[in-house]
Structure 1
């Protein structure tokens, strides 16, 4: 069995070090990453949502969901940037479903009937301006009539200075505006 000589080991380690250093000098990324959070102002459950393909959490009615990593946005904000938000709602999240005879889990037929009422939505929204070099989080607000508002603020919803002021518990109007 042969071993590398001392100088060969030094050359090999030096080469590895150069490769590692070269990887560090690629420059800064063109994107910022931050948590993806949601605020649900409606009585429907958000079964899931995504923003530009980045998956977010489920959110209970009139609740919060978040801390999902990561939403990627351009490092430099520019006017005209858009986000594609997709989500699924359960309009009757507290429905009592018939149980399986074993008592564990809902009956498949009852669940299929309930699931048939789920609704899928897509909205294209403007990405609000952000000026920081770090993206704390991207917060998606789900409002009545399938409206969406977006915030990139580092503070939490409800804190002074947070840009979205709508109350958490909003009622769906009888007729939604077009």
Structure 2
């Protein structure tokens, strides 16, 4: 084969390879605008949080003055925080946690089950839309349960207690004599 034909053939192949690379680079997917973030609860009250959900996605139960260490997956949030970003938090609260320790009925007897049914009837259910604190990088969704059924939510890539964490709540908070009207 003459050298001119070979050189032309090589140039055509090089051009096709270059075009293929350019077209494939255009096929790179956009980075996601939303990601799933794990859910964690922090309870600053003496009540037990039997269960909670963020945007209908379950979080772990949280004992009195407990939290952290347990995460459930996941709630979908924007990668970049936006002003006005809110989540729906729903929860069930046992205001008299540990009451069964003092019951005289034999555990799991019929009388005990009846008393437990009365106790469960006093659980309270709550639902509130909460603004998410600003974040630069999406991290764990931390739901803080505060006195008077107040809720605070962060989704920063920081741990509570760290300098850049948006909330500085004390670990234990007591209910005031009267809660403010919502």
In 2, the alpha carbon distance for the partners of 1:124 and 1:171 equals: 23
- Answering whether residue 84 of structure 2 is matched by residue 80 of structure 1, we say yes
The structure whose Rg is larger is: 2
TM-score (norm 2): 0.75
- Secondary structure of the residue aligned to 2:115 is helix
In 2, the alpha carbon distance for the partners of 1:127 and 1:159 equals: 18
| Deviation for aligned residue 1:95 | 0.7
Which residue pairs with 1:157 in the alignment? 160
In 2, the alpha carbon distance for the partners of 1:159 and 1:29 equals: 28
Relative to its length, the structure with more helix (as a share) is 2
- Secondary structure of the residue aligned to 2:64 is coil
Q: Give the number of aligned pairs.
A: 151
In 1, the alpha carbon distance for the partners of 2:163 and 2:90 equals: 29
Which residue pairs with 2:16 in the alignment? none
Unaligned runs of 5+ in 1: 1-20
Unaligned runs of 5+ in 2: 1-23
| Deviation for aligned residue 1:25 | 5.4
- Answering whether residue 56 of structure 2 is matched by residue 53 of structure 1, we say yes
Which residue pairs with 2:66 in the alignment? 63
Superposition RMSD in Å: 2.1
Name which of 93, 110, 121 aligns with 1:89. 93
In 2, the alpha carbon distance for the partners of 1:167 and 1:151 equals: 16
| Deviation for aligned residue 1:169 | 0.7
Q: From the superposition, tell whether residues 101 and 88 of structure 1 become closer, same or farther in structure 2 (CA, over 3 Å).
A: closer
- Give the 5 Å matches for 1:156-175: 156-175=159-178
In 2, the alpha carbon distance for the partners of 1:76 and 1:101 equals: 53
- Could you give the per-residue CA deviations for residues 114-159 of structure 1, whole angstroms, max 9, x where no partner exists? 1011000111111222222xx2201010000000111122222123
